[in-house]
Amino acid sequence: AQSVAQPEDQVNVAEGNPLTVKCTYSVSGNPYLFWYVQYPNRGLQFLLKYITGDNLVKGSYGFEAEFNKSQTSFHLKKPSALVSDSALYFCAVRDINGYNFNKFYFGSGTKLNVKP
Amino acid sequence: NAGVTQTPKFRVLKTGQSMTLLCAQDMNHEYMYWYRQDPGMGLRLIHYSVGEGTTAKGEVPDGYNVSRLKKQNFLLGLESAAPSQTSVYFCASSYSVRGGENTGELFFGEGSRLTVL
């Protein structure tokens, strides 16, 4: 079955330190990969995506993500965390092949807490 | 350019009442989706549509109906609300990825918070 895993419910990091939010997926073929951020009482906002090409993709607010095909992972990273980065982060995968090509699969979300 | 707009933003219903959530997008997207978000359960797909006049079931369709009479609108209906349908509902839309040009990220509305008493 197609699935996306975010193994950490919560990640705590001090402001100024690097952060990583992990995502692994089990979706056949070469799916499209996304990260979204959700602030309290708001909708999900698109951060970045991997379609093809360079394994390191850059997105909004200084975030980047590293695609690793062999490990089927797409970890979100930022070199220096800000308190304002505190939010809920979702990894998503879009199946672009076969019967399920229009479906998105979401991880369960990781709450990022950045402490001053 | 409003993006994806959901109405209403908040609603309180009594068990057994009916209601409709409206989603409107102005980006000419082919695909539209309804999700619900519950604590600890992430996003779950209720129904989706790949084009005007077509709808399909997601992973949690029971108790909901949808219609897509116009390309820009996707309606989610609750015929007889139950407390288990208390949730935050999100509409999203995207382009098709076929054709190679659009990379098909989802655009979300701000959510509709529904409480069923």
Q: Is residue B89 within 8 Å of B64, Cβ to Cβ?
A: no
* B33 in contact with A, Cβ within 8 Å: yes
Partner residues linked to B31 by β-bridges: B94
Q: Do B110 and A49 touch (CB under 8 A)?
A: no
Q: Do A42 and B97 touch (CB under 8 A)?
A: no
The 10s digit of each residue's pLDDT in B5-52 is: 999 999 999 999 999 999 999 999 999 999 999 987 789 999 999 999
- In angstroms, the CA B29 to CA B105 distance is 11
A34 CB neighbours in chain B (<8 A) are: 105-106
How many angstroms separate the CA of residue A4 from the nearest CA in chain B? 11
> What's the pLDDT at A12?
98
pLDDT band at B98 (very low <50, low <70, confident <90, very high): low
> What's the pLDDT at A99?
67
Peptide bond into B8 cis (omega under 30): yes
Q: How many helices (H) and strands (E) are present in chain B, helices listed first?
A: 0, 11
> What's the pLDDT at B99?
53
The 10s digit of each residue's pLDDT in B48-76 is: 999 999 999 999 999 999 999 999 999 99
Q: Which of A76, A41, A83, A74 is nearest to A60 (CA)?
A: A76
Q: Do A103 and B45 touch (CB under 8 A)?
A: yes
> What's the pLDDT at A30?
84
Q: Please name the helix (run of DSSP H) or strand (run of DSSP E) that holds residue A48, with its range, or none.
A: strand A44-50
Q: Is residue B12 within 8 Å of B32, Cβ to Cβ?
A: no
B108 CB neighbours in chain A (<8 A) are: 36, 43-45
pLDDT along chain A (116 residues), means of 10: 91 98 91 94 93 92 95 97 97 81 87 96
> What's the pLDDT at B60?
95
How many angstroms separate the CA of residue A42 from the nearest CA in chain B? 5
Token pair for residue B16? 């057994």
pLDDT(B91) > 70: yes
Other C-beta atoms closer than 10 Å to the C-beta of B27 total 13
- % helix, strand, coil for chain B, step of 5: 5, 50, 45
Q: Is residue A75 within 8 Å of A86, Cβ to Cβ?
A: no
Give me chain A's average pLDDT, please: 93
> What's the pLDDT at B49?
94
